[in-house]
Amino acid sequence: MQTTLLPSDHVRAIVQRIGLHELMDALIARLTTAFATFEPAHTHSPARSGFNYTDPELGLIEWMPVMTGGRVTIKVVGYHPSNPRARQLPTILSTVSTYDTQTGHWIAVADGNFLTALRTGAASAIASRALAAPHSHIVGLIGAGAQAVTQLHGLSRVLPIEAAWVYDRDPAVAHSFRKRAGFLHIELIPVDASGLAQLVERADVLCTCTSVDVGAGPVFADGAHKPWLHVNAIGSDFPGKTELPLSLLQRSLVVPDFPAQAMQEGECQRLSPTEIGPSLVDVVKNPERYAARRETTTVFDSTGWSLEDHVALGLLMDYARDLGLGIPVDIESLAEDPHDPYAFAAPDGLRVLHPSRQNGAVNHGALRA
Amino acid sequence: MQTTLLPSDHVRAIVQRIGLHELMDALIARLTTAFATFEPAHTHSPARSGFNYTDPELGLIEWMPVMTGGRVTIKVVGYHPSNPRARQLPTILSTVSTYDTQTGHWIAVADGNFLTALRTGAASAIASRALAAPHSHIVGLIGAGAQAVTQLHGLSRVLPIEAAWVYDRDPAVAHSFRKRAGFLHIELIPVDASGLAQLVERADVLCTCTSVDVGAGPVFADGAHKPWLHVNAIGSDFPGKTELPLSLLQRSLVVPDFPAQAMQEGECQRLSPTEIGPSLVDVVKNPERYAARRETTTVFDSTGWSLEDHVALGLLMDYARDLGLGIPVDIESLAEDPHDPYAFAAPDGLRVLHPSRQNGAVNHGALRA
């Protein structure tokens, strides 16, 4: 019984063989099915938990578990903002493991970074398909980093997007967005801070995907916007870290991805329970009930849900299987006599392998030599 | 930057090269140091958490995290009692991963079963060395399964053990203990239920390591015993699951491994806070303060502490390094432009690898073929 490893270069091979558009489309389809068939009694996703610290430097290691469909999937995420400058490593390192609930077997583990980026874009695509106006063709991006690429990619697969206005507080990031998102063949219009109000005013769909500091929001001022504005709020993921003007939230239908978590870490943390709308699952399950809201102001409060990681891992593992990718390894101990913890290592009678050490003398010399 | 895999057969190779006695001695030494230098401000071990379920069958998948010494270590444990009969798999499958808190890098993952068995025996050895009478030479084992092997092994490394009385409610398990523990060269005296009171009466050190059902304890009746009796209570690991007579607990110095967890899952769950003694860490840090207790009745309430898993993993990884064992793999994505989630997979301008699929047509046919 083997565990399949899907390292980063096998994920790369999947992207190169399948193509980014087909991957995004396939994930949107699978996530839509997962939401449409979601049953709270059969999917359990406790709040993410972890360690955050400031020593040796600011950082966080957390785990996001979910149990669904006979599997437990756990993403372990490291967030270490000094990595790029101090060590030429990415800020985020993550891996996603899945286990069988019948046996406890560790089925697979994959690099989690691409998977997370793709599922965040796919979730916004699903929310926008359900809540944005069908004629939406202009996107406003506030924050033009990594998340902006997958937001625009996801939106472009479900709406007739023609142009995106792009703002970032770092002009170099706004500038490089053209290179990173060029593959989408969408007109990209960079703006500086003086153009931010116009960006909001012109957008059919707005995506906020900033690294705003705790307590520093909102990232734009409330003001004129289209009556059917749909906002995907992506950046809020920590208590006190929010992006949207409270007045905008309060007059919008606010749809969280994972309500319990959104109330802790998302835009919803600023709202009372009666100000929070249906979850994205509710919206996907009842499209007719919310169809009229597409012409009103709506917000998708995206905090990142472990169920999305689970579905994305399943998609990548299916492609890996079909393409002959993934590395099988035997890691778990299987041969064990349940009553004998040493049986796997040493047959009966052959256990004292170093009789000279029987009297408790510990000799590490050989190891150090 | 690679992750080192230490599969079960590499753990086996370590045991065969180093020997069980030296491994136990080395782990006792490292754990003693870890306890003696323990600082609550520098080691964080939240309560274990997980999923337990009865569908498809009774089972549990849980994670036990700890942060200490610049590492986060997480053991993931599956407990599925129908595995042996239904699937010829062990009841428990487990793996232990460790991450660097400076970068978030996943340093290593090892099979966790042998590691867990060894550390449970080592912890009892440390407790017994500190709390049992120095002249202890008779052990009583109630429950003769896997834990009994490592309990007796650990005890034999720190006390002048000459004989063990062995009881199990399953006579076949009591009988096979002689084969499993023969390598210790200790006189083994099996008893049936009629001999249980005498076993307790004769023991200098008693180990309870049963799978008693919730609410079914105690596993022996209170009665005559030596005034210096020390008990290692191993089996209690779930709310309602306890092994010892309450009256015995109440007149003993009860020393938990991990107080917060022991109050939830251990023998301590039946005691008020004032009835609970110092932790094992306190005892190891202050041996003179508790030396006189060696001639009185004491209980080590062992629920299994994630710090012990962390120390045991460190020991095995050090042996693996010195012996040239362990399999290095590149699993995490490192090459990523922090602003471009697709850069690792597809260079700029080469992203639309399947232009015919640009219009959203999803073609899975090739995959299924």
What is the pLDDT averaged over residues A233-260? 94
In angstroms, the first-to-last Cα distance of chain A is 36
Q: Is B22 on the interface with A (CB under 8 A)?
A: yes
pLDDT for the residue A213: 86
Is the C-alpha dihedral spanning A242, A246, A252, A253 positive or negative?
positive
- Dihedral through CA B330, CA B336, CA B342, CA B347, nearest 10? -100
Give CA–CA dist A309/B277, Å, rounded.
44
Share of chain A above pLDDT 90, in %: 80
Task: Give the distance, in angstroms, between the CA of residue B10 and the centroid of all CA atoms in the same chain.
Answer: 19
Pairing of strands B138-142, B106-111: unpaired
Q: Which 3-state string (H, E, C) describes chain B?
A: CCEEEECHHHHHHHHHHHCHHHHHHHHHHHHHHHHHCCCCCCEECCCCEEEEECCCCCEEEEEEEEEECCEEEEEEEEECCCHHHHHCCCCEEEEEEEEECCCCCEEEEEECHHHHHHHHHHHHHHHHHHHCCCCCCEEEEECCCHHHHHHHHHHHCCCCCCEEEEECCCHHHHHHHHHHHHHHCCEEEEECHHHHHHHHHHCCEEEECCCCCCCCCCCCCCCCCCCCCEEEECCCCECCECCCCHHHHHCCEEEECCHHHHHHHCHHHHCCHHHCCCCHHHHHHCHHHHHHHHHCCEEEECCCCHHHHHHHHHHHHHHHHHHCCCEEECCCCCCCECCECCCCCCCCCCCCCCHHHCCCCCCCHHHHC
Give CA–CA dist A283/A293, Å, rounded.
10
Q: If chain B, 369 residues long, is cut into consecutive pieces of 10 residues, what is the mean pLDDT of each piece?
A: 93 94 98 97 92 91 96 96 87 95 97 94 98 98 95 98 97 92 95 97 97 90 97 90 96 97 95 97 97 97 97 98 96 81 72 45 33
Within 13 Å and on the Cβ side, how many CA atoms surround A68? Answer: 23
Length of chain B: 369
What is the pLDDT averaged over residues A197-226? 95
* DSSP reduced 3-state for A368: helix
Instruction: Give the gyration radius of chain A's Cα atoms.
Output: 24
Q: Tell which residue, B61, B65, B138, has the closest CA to residue B97.
A: B65
- Nearest CB among B46, B332, B338 relative to A8 is that of B332
Give CA–CA dist A124/A257, Å, rounded.
9
* Contact residues on chain B for A109, CB-CB shorter than 8 A: 331
Q: Tell which residue, A303, A368, A290, A342, has the closest CA to residue A130.
A: A290
Q: Is the peptide bond before B218 cis (omega within 30 degrees of 0)?
A: yes
| Phi and psi at residue B256, to the nearest 5° | -85, 155
Residues 197-226, chain B, touching A (beta carbon < 8 A): none
What is the pLDDT averaged over residues A303-324? 97
- Dihedral through CA A304, CA A310, CA A313, CA A317, nearest 10? -170
Residue A23 pLDDT > 90, yes or no? yes
Give CA–CA dist A203/A191, Å, rounded.
13
Residue A124 pLDDT > 80, yes or no? yes
Higher-pLDDT residue of A355 and B267 is B267
pTM: 0.91
Its ipTM equals 0.89
Tell me the angle at which helices A20-36 and A113-131 cross, rounded to the nearest 10 degrees: 60
Task: Give the distance, in angstroms, between the CA of residue A65 and the centroid of all CA atoms in the same chain.
Answer: 13
A124-133, A288-297, A343-352: range with lowest mean pLDDT: A343-352
- Dihedral through CA B53, CA B56, CA B59, CA B60, nearest 10? -60
Whether A61 sits inside 8 A of B104 (CB atoms) is yes
Q: Is A47 on the interface with B (CB under 8 A)?
A: no
* DSSP reduced 3-state for A233: strand
Whether B25 sits inside 8 A of A79 (CB atoms) is no
Within 13 Å and on the Cβ side, how many CA atoms surround B281? Answer: 13
pLDDT for the residue B355: 41
Domain architecture of chain A: domains with CATH: 3-114+309-329 (3.30.1780.10), 121-304 (3.40.50.720)
The mean of the pLDDT values for chain A is 91
pLDDT for the residue A347: 63
Q: Tell which residue, A163, A130, A105, has the closest CA to residue A332.
A: A105
Q: Is A230 on the interface with B (CB under 8 A)?
A: no
Give CA–CA dist B83/A341, Å, rounded.
16
What is the pLDDT averaged over residues A253-276? 96
pLDDT for the residue A366: 32
Please, which pLDDT band fits residue A22 given cuts at 50, 70 and 90? very high
Q: Are B291 and B283 in contact (CB under 8 A)?
A: no
Give CA–CA dist B78/A95, Å, rounded.
19
pLDDT tens digits along A215-227: 888 999 999 999 9
How distant is the Cα of B251 from the closest Cα of chain A, in angstroms?
32
What is the pLDDT averaged over residues A334-339? 75
- Nearest CB among A92, A157, A323 relative to B360 is that of A157
- Nearest CB among B26, B61, B95 relative to A101 is that of B61
- Nearest CB among A51, A91, A332 relative to B95 is that of A332
Q: Tell which residue, B21, B135, B105, B64, has the closest CA to residue B310.
A: B64
The token pair that represents A56 in the structure block: 């040796």
Residues 169-198, chain B, touching A (beta carbon < 8 A): 173, 176, 179-180, 182-183
pLDDT for the residue A364: 34
Q: Tell which residue, B51, B334, B84, B280, has the closest CA to residue A63.
A: B51
Q: Are A93 and B103 in contact (CB under 8 A)?
A: yes
- Nearest CB among B1, B150, B331 relative to A5 is that of B331
Q: Tell which residue, B245, B241, B249, has the closest CA to residue B304.
A: B241
* Contact residues on chain B for A51, CB-CB shorter than 8 A: 44, 65, 67, 72, 101
Q: Are A264 and A218 in contact (CB under 8 A)?
A: no
Q: Is B46 on the interface with A (CB under 8 A)?
A: yes
